[in-house]
Structure formats: C-alpha cells, structure tokens
Amino acid sequence: MKSELILDYEFISEPNIDNVVDKIFSPAPEGKTPVVATLNVDQIVKFSKLPNLKSFIQQSYMILPDGQPVVWASRLLGSPLAKRITGSDLFPLVWEKALMQDSRILCITPTEEVSQLLMQRNPKAVCYTPPFFSATNQAEITEVTQKITDIISANTIEYVVVGISLPKREILAQELVKKELPSAPKFLLFGAAFEFYLGTKKRAPEFFQKHGLEWLHRFSQEPNRLFKRYFIESLPFFKIVINSLQRKDKK
C-alpha cells in the first residue's frame, strides 16, 4: 500500500477504503506499533507540542489523513495523498467485519450511554467507559490502563477501538502498547466515530464531506466549543506546512 511522508508522518495514500480495512485486519509489520491513527489538523498541531506522543504516533503501522486540509497540504508539498479517510468512515466497516469474523473487539467509549447502545447493536461487544481522568495525572492514567489491561486479558481482545478525546486516547494506547499484552491487540484511534455511527452526533451532509467542509458543519453545530479549536488553536498548522515546504526546498 502506497504511503507519503509529509508533515513528519508517513500517511497511507489509498483511494479504496476497503483495502484500508483489509490492512487493518492484517498483521502489523515488524518495527511498527500495532496502532491505526487518523490524523487531522488539531492532532498534528497538538502533537507538535507533545514530542513524546508525536514519536509514538509516528511509529504506528497505519497513519491515515482524517482532515481534508491534510490532503490539501500534501498536494502543496508535492506528495499528494489519494483521499481523506476518517475514523468515522472506517468504524462501521471495521465493526461489521469484526462481527463477521467473530473477532473480539473492545470499545473504549466516552459515555455509558454509548457503551449501552453499542452493546445493543452487538451483545458480544465488550465496552468500557473510563472514569474521568486527567491527561497529566500519571496515577489516574495508570489506574485506567490497568483496568483496560484486565479487560483485554480476560476477553482475549484482538482490536481495541479508542473513542475518547485527544490526547487521552493516544496516551492510553501508548501505555497499553508498552505492556506487550498476550493477545497482542491492535489499537484503533478513531475519535468520535462511535457517536457518528450511533447517530448521537450528526455528520455533515455528503456535500460538505466531499468538499472538505465537514469542519464548518461541525462548527455550526457546536460554535462555542469549537471556535477556539478551529480559529485559534489550529493556526500553527500553517506554520507547520510552511516549515515543511522550506525543508523540501532545501533538499
């Protein structure tokens, strides 16, 4: 499967989402962590300030361009990615394939309501909603990690879909990968994919998705929460792209 190294990450460049799903269900290559990460502008900016997490994500065996601006940046940098592939697009396909193959899947959910709705869809599903924990409190992180470790070990989990907020999902995945669990599960970092799949959050209409405007639709739904993220915190992305262009010109 083709990949392109841009913005310090080796992104998968694949036009067919079914091929991506097949790769998720294939063994991870040697030297890579069993992590599937979907990166958007917000994550790239935040990881630029969190070098430990950035290094961890860079080692993932699959990194996918979740945000359309990442695809646009790839074209500007002369290494165009085939298309945007989001965790929200992938989760229904992964969920159904896991059911067909009778694979053991654990969903780390943001709320008990989400857990209950997922288990209604699939009584065999294993779901866990962590208590609130701080991304900077190691004791709390260790407690949640141990609980997830126990669940994985007791249920021989093969796939862990982590659907909680950034950067907590990456922190938990990093801690769990270190443990080298007996069932060697893969960690799929899919953000808000559960809520979109269940319909508790509404995705943008297809027109917005096709034209890279899904962020605008989401902003219209939650302007107070998303204004700072989209219009202030995301601004350093332009500097990251410019720095990448300058490094490319010097080669």
Could you give the 3-state DSSP secondary structure of residue 212?
coil
Q: What is the pLDDT of residues 154-182, one digit of tens each?
A: 999 999 999 999 999 999 999 999 998 88
Which is more confidently placed, 248 or 59? 59
Task: Report d(CA 233, CA 237) in Å as an integer.
Answer: 9
Paired tokens of 81? 């990615």
Confidence of residue 219 (pLDDT cuts 50, 70, 90): confident
Phi-psi sector, 132: left (phi>0), alpha (psi -120 to 50), beta: beta
Residue 21: CB atoms within 10 Å? 18
pLDDT (tens digit per residue) in 103-126: 999 999 999 999 999 999 988 889
More confident call, 63 vs 181: 63
Cβ–Cβ < 8 Å for 41, 69: yes
Across the chain, mean pLDDT equals: 91
Question: CB–CB of 12/62 below 8 Å?
Answer: yes
**If we measure between CA atoms, which residue out of 180, 169, 222, 147 comes closest to residue 37?**
169
> Does the pLDDT at position 130 exceed 70?
yes
Q: Please compute, for residue 209, the number of CA atoms within 13 A of its CA located in the half-sphere on the CB side.
A: 12
Residue 91 makes CB contacts below 8 A (sequence gap 6+) with 161, 188, 190, 193, 194, 196, 197
pLDDT at residue 229 tops 80: no
Instruction: Decide if 177 contacts 170 (C-beta within 8 A).
Output: no
3-state DSSP assignment of residue 140: helix
Say if residues 82 and 73 touch (Cβ distance below 8 Å): no
Q: Is there a contact between 128 and 147 (Cβ–Cβ < 8 Å)?
A: yes
The rounded distance, in Å, linking the Cα atoms of 139 and 153 is: 21
pLDDT of residue 251: 63
pTM score, two decimals? Answer: 0.92
